Amino acid sequence: MVTMAVTGRLQVSVIVPARNEEACLADCLQSLTTQSGVTFEIIIVDDHSTDRTREIAVSFPGVRVIEAGPLPNGWTGKNNAVTTGARQARGEWLLFTDADTVHLPGSLAAALREAQENDAELLSYSPEQIAVTFWEMAVLPVVFAELARQYSPSKVSAPDSPVAAANGQYILIRRDTYDAVGGHAAIAGNILEDVALARNVKSSGRKIRFRYGANAVRTRMYRNYRQLRDGWTKNLALLFPNPGWLALKSVLLWFFPWAALFLVIAGVLKQPSWNTIAVAGFFWLVTRLRRANFDVAMQFLGALFGMPMFAYLLLRSKRAHANGSVSWKGRTYAPEAVPGNELTDHAPIAGPLS
């Protein structure tokens, strides 16, 4: 049962936007409704779902289910949904989390305590990523390694660093801070609403704390190849300031060990040292992916197959944004900026949008 405050203050309002999430919403709500050690409410915002999303949500006692309402012109669906939820929230803190997340026992109270102990007005976790299908296991290590390489969580959390980042799968923010920076209404058209919100918070002089949060929350972002392709097409060109160059670099780094191995097998490179070079090249690619927080088997899949796919997705994303048409969950958005433009002129930002 949801731990509600009968009298006194309500510490956290958990806001979950949900659009056609019947595959994962029940697990999410089961993990949220059993949280303890903190007074909280759960608000599900049904974003015009056409499946069993609303039916599942109302089956959990104590969970408030509201409608997102018509999508205003110029808004993304997620920004409209979370803004609707925030308007009805009563907590001193707001937790924005996605329907595909599963929250570990006690994580809500621990997150609130962590934010308070670190004087952070926005706390964001990058969840443990669950991968099941081949392309999930191959691509995710590459994507998250590159994100960690370009946007270090330690820099994001440092007040004297201009780097701002957040992950929309888990954002805990003080209510007064959220209102002070204009909330999601101030970034209504941003496809990467999580990083835009973090940017507004940090530029206002408030502290952000951002880290890998496997001890708090996990998620399976995409459940098949098509979702993975479309999701990263939506995000990658905005996450990296030069997606074309990054795509080329990824292909070249991946190509050289393969080329060396082929030439060794073909007998073109006959000296034994080339055997060592070819093998060392593959292991070097694997070590590049270590910071992505996946096991060794997935690092090998990433090094062998994920890097060229990552390059393809980067170029696909760059083209979609250049054409001014990005599609997600049955909606098409006109990107608010040309890829590589605002990211190179201002503080760098990062954080995947699910």
pLDDT at 338 over 60: no
pLDDT at 158 over 90: yes
Output the CA angle 56-61-63, nearest 5 degrees: 75
pTM of the shown model: 0.88
Q: Which fold has domain 12-136+151-223?
A: Spore Coat Polysaccharide Biosynthesis Protein SpsA; Chain A (3.90.550)
Asked whether 146 and 132 are in contact (CB, 8 A), the reply is: no
What is the tens place of the pLDDT at every residue in 74-99? 999 999 999 999 999 999 999 999 99
Between 6-10, 237-241, 338-342, the lowest mean confidence (pLDDT) is in 338-342
Residue 325 pLDDT class (50, 70, 90 cuts): confident
Give start-end residues of each CATH 3.90.550.10 domain in the chain: 12-136+151-223
Q: How far is the C-alpha of 71 from the C-alpha of 315, rounded, in Å?
A: 30
Region 223-230: what's the mean pLDDT? 94
Cα distances (angstroms) measured from residue 254 to each of 264, 277, 306: 17, 14, 9
pLDDT at 256 over 90: no
Give the per-residue pLDDT at 342. Answer: 35
The three-class DSSP label of residue 239 is helix
Region 300-306: what's the mean pLDDT? 94
pLDDT at 245 over 90: yes
Instruction: Tell me the average pLDDT of the chain.
Output: 89
Give the per-residue pLDDT at 352. Answer: 37
